[in-house]
Amino acid sequence: MSTETTDTFELWAATPTPFRADESLAAEVVPAQAAHLVELGIDGAFVGGTTGESMALTVDERAELIGAWAEHRGDQLLLGAHVGDLSVVDARRLARHAADAGVDLIAAVAPFYGEPPSVTAIVDYLAEIASAAPDVPLCYYHIPSMTGLRAAPSAVVEQAAARVPSLRAVKFTDGDLLEFIRTREAADGVRVYFGKDELLPAGVACGATGAIGSLYNVLAPVAREVRSRILAGEVEAALALHRPFRQIAAVADRWGSIPVVKELINRFGPDAGAARVPWGRLGPDALAAVDALVKELDPAAS
């Protein structure tokens, strides 16, 4: 994994977890998913995160998913595995498994059912996970819309930089651009990946040197062009190119991000099945909205 904040821009796809019709894990789909990402020119696969419905999976399923990706990613994809869990015992188990499988990055959200009482408590948790896989770079995953955590990631990074030697990255999935900048400046040698796909132009303008997101399973080439236009000062052109991302966000906000995005990814890549409970299958109105998106996106995604 590259961790230096240089001109190299890493684009990672947050991958959906494939399920069969009975909602069992369909690990046999992973080779096709990996090949699809390579075809798109993606730098890395971020497995078992929010898009991957990690909190709807058993620990054994998460381990199997990591193993399948490690086996089938080939030599052109970096591999990141989200191992965060409410149980630090399970998180450490997944971290060790991911390290043994040869991943390039492990990531973890902080515990979110009962907010940790302090930044120090979050760093304690990250240190426990890191100690189970000390040779693998660690990524702190900040996504307050899902976790409800109020702790500033810049404060977490500042403290963790002194206590967690393997901390090398943050996945910043939030629209607070001032805090994004603060997090970038909190410690040297920590790459902050921008995770809010619908705000990518703003993230690039604020210095993002990498991005991890679900929509790059479909629109990776467009994302790279958006970045190029922003860096060239062509803001209006960048925003025009980026419009499909915002259109998707509007539909996802109405009908549910996880099931909408999964259905959309299925239309342009290998079929990973429907989302699991509690998100489940989309109803007729939501599917009609996705159908309309597909018609709009087809030229951009082809």
Q: Which helix (H) or strand (E) holds 12?
A: strand 10-14
**Largest Cα–Cα distance in the chain?**
51
Our measurement of the distance from residue 90's CA atom to the centroid of its chain's CA atoms, rounded to an integer in Å, reads 20
**According to the model, what pLDDT value does residue 34 have?**
99
The secondary structure of the chain in percent helix, strand, coil, rounded to multiples of 5, reads 50, 15, 35
Angstrom distance (rounded) from CA 12 to CA 201: 16
236 domain-assigned? no
Q: Whole-prediction pTM value?
A: 0.96
Q: What is the CATH number of the domain that holds 198?
A: 3.20.20.70
Annotated catalytic, 171?
Answer: yes
Tens-place pLDDT, residues 110-131: 999 999 999 999 999 999 999 9
Question: For residue 194, what are the domain limits?
Answer: 10-231
Residue 293 lies in a domain: no
Mean pLDDT for all residues in the chain: 96
Q: Is residue 295 part of a domain?
A: no
* Of 125, 140, 171, 193, catalytic: 171
Q: Is residue 141's pLDDT more than 80?
A: yes
Residue 88 lies in a domain: yes
Number of domains in the chain: 1
Q: What is the pLDDT of residue 301?
A: 78
Confidence of residue 5 (pLDDT cuts 50, 70, 90): very low
Looking at per-residue confidence, does 177 or 6 come out higher? 177
Q: Is residue 202 part of a domain?
A: yes
Cβ atoms of residues 245 and 197 within 8 Å: yes
Q: Catalytic residue, from 113, 125, 140, 141: name it.
A: 141
CA dist., res. 117 & res. 101, Å (int): 33
* Mean pLDDT confidence for 133-152: 97
